[in-house]
Amino acid sequence: MIAPLPESQTPDMDSVNRLAWRRPDTVQIYQRLQGCTDPGEQAAIDYVAGEARTRPVLDIGVGGGRTTPLLKAISADYVGIDYTEAMVLACRRQHPHTRIEHMDARDLGRFTDQQFALAVFSFNGIDAIDYADRHTVLREVHRVLQDDGRFLFSAHNRHGPGHGEVPRLALDFSWNPLKLGWRTLKLVRSLGPSWRNHRRNRTLGQTHEEWAVQNCAAHDFGIVVMYTSLSEQVRQLQETGFKVEQVLSSETGQPVSNEDGARSACWLHYVARKVA
């Protein structure tokens, strides 16, 4: 359950999400995660690995350190950052000999221009900030990338099946009575917090044809994220000085080229190159 915001604090996207990310139970969840989230992420990492080999890598939104071994396998010249101090501390415990910094992707001022060959912002981390700040992140990543450097990130799909989620009674059935009982108990216990968080957080929603800000089911509907169409995300990247090389489906890991082809994907993985 996500605790309510203080009465004196005006709810906004940033404060809601930061509250969720720093909770001990959320940090524990992210500490336990291992490997790639989906076939699309695996395909995207495989796509960039060869060119980035041994070159400097920036891992944005590192969380509990899930992506650290994935990217350090590409290059030991690695630094991870996260804007949640609790996540940074957890990641340092997981990877004590790795450089992990407390830093916000909207301000990468501690890094020099053209410092990295590859920047990665995984698990839809870029969606946790609003529309204007998203453009700030793109500009900052563009600045710290070398000419022809690549940016790999994932983003919720505006026209995918995850958009518009609401709390619902959906039980993962099992013929094992113990498993079924445990799953039923967990579902019943989560419904109350989910509805309370949803009622609170849906007031932050915005709906547009090409992008939307909506309450997301993760963490008992405790976060608010952006959903962006494929065409809008490509437009933003091109406007910032990137050339899109690959867009991959989270469900299949296969390239998609238009909105119709992307509709089955909850999120999309983008690989973009900084235009020299």
pLDDT in tens, 176-212: 555 444 444 454 455 567 768 778 878 899 999 999 9
8 Å CB contact between 95 and 115: no
pLDDT in tens, 231-240: 999 999 999 9
pTM higher than 0.85, yes or no? yes
pLDDT of 84 reads 97
Could you tell me which residues come within 8 angstroms of residue 172 by beta carbon, excluding any fewer than 6 positions away?
183
CATH (one of 3.40.50.150, 3.40.190.10, 3.20.20.140, 3.40.50.720) for 13-156+227-274: 3.40.50.150
The structural domains of the chain, with segments of one domain joined by +, span: 13-156+227-274
pLDDT for 167 beyond 80? no
Enumerate the β-bridge partners of residue 267: 156
Enumerate the β-bridge partners of residue 207: 212
Average of pLDDT values for 99-127?
98
pLDDT of 136 reads 98
- Read off the DSSP letter of residue 224: E
8 Å CB contact between 150 and 117: yes
